[in-house]
Amino acid sequence: MRHFSKILYISFAVIAFSGCYGKEELLLNNTKTIVPLYKGEEKSDCDTLVITCIDYRFAFANQEFLNKKLEIEGNYDHISIPGSIYNLVNPSTREIVFSKITKFVNFHLTKRIVIIGHRDCGGYGGSSAFGSEIAEYVYLTTDLKKAKQIIIEKYPTLQIDLYLETLTKEGIQFEKIK
Ligand SMILES: [Zn+2]
């Protein structure tokens, strides 16, 4: 595998958070714009924390999957990190990523974490960094399970759901990983 230390630098330059508390006002070209709150947004807690990669190819599908398939629209915080959970699994960067997760879990009394990893992830050097499709699948699903274990050790009562997504001709396929 390649050496990914540079990922840490970009991780926290572009790490993106969104969640139950959407911004009420956005500034676009110096014009004040009001964006309506989603229903339920005035709640003080949020049941689910979602962790995904920042990869733009999956962004729309992720929203559709979360809102329509998992039916958690308006009830989740969302952390996007390059490489998804690569920096959580990596011992040298684990603490800083884990500290972000614990902030959300403690602040919003999170009950469930949904982690979505994907094939051909730039954080891992893309599919070409692996010898075969099977090798990539095994590596990524092993990392997802490791991430679950790391979180469970601190929060044993949390429900953690793992998914691996793949670009196919038909669209983005989500597979639940057990
Ligand atoms: Zn990625």
The CATH number for 124's domain is 3.40.1050
Residue 162 has pLDDT above 80, yes or no: yes
Please tell me the distance between residue 83's alpha carbon and the centre of ligand 1 in angstroms: 4
Among 9-23, 101-115, 122-136, 142-156, which stretch is predicted with the lowest mean pLDDT? 9-23
pLDDT > 50? residue 136: yes
- Distance, CA 20 to ligand 1 centroid (Å)? 24
CA of 118 to the centre of ligand 1 (A): 6
79 Cα to the center of ligand 1, angstroms: 13
Q: In whole angstroms, what separates CA 150 from the centre of its chain?
A: 15
CA of 137 to the centre of ligand 1 (A): 14
- Predicted pLDDT of residue 11: 46
Rounded distance, CA 111 to CA 60, Å? 24
Predicted confidence band of residue 130 (pLDDT cuts 50, 70, 90): very high
Residue 37: Cβ within 10 Å count: 13
CA 2 to CA 124: how far, in whole Å?
Answer: 8
> Cα of 133 to ligand 1 centre, how many Å?
16
- Name the pTM for this structure: 0.81
- Quote the domain boundaries for residue 105: 5-177
More confident residue, 28 or 88: 88
Q: How confident is the model at residue 25, as a pLDDT?
A: 57
The predicted pLDDT at position 32 comes to 75
For the stretch 31-51, pLDDT in tens is: 777 777 666 555 557 899 999
- What's the number of domains the chain is made of? 1
44 CA to centre of ligand 1 in angstroms: 31
Q: How far is the CA of 29 from the centre of ligand 1 (A)?
A: 30
Give, rounded to a whole angstrom, the gap between the first and last alpha carbons of the chain.
24
From CA 134, how far away is CA 137, in angstroms rounded? 5
The number of CA neighbours under 13 Å toward the Cβ of 162 is: 17
In the reported structure, the alpha carbon of residue 175 is separated from the centroid of ligand 1 by a whole-number distance in angstroms of 16
pLDDT in tens, 57-101: 999 999 999 999 999 998 999 999 988 889 899 998 899 889 989
CB 79 within 8 A of CB 100: yes
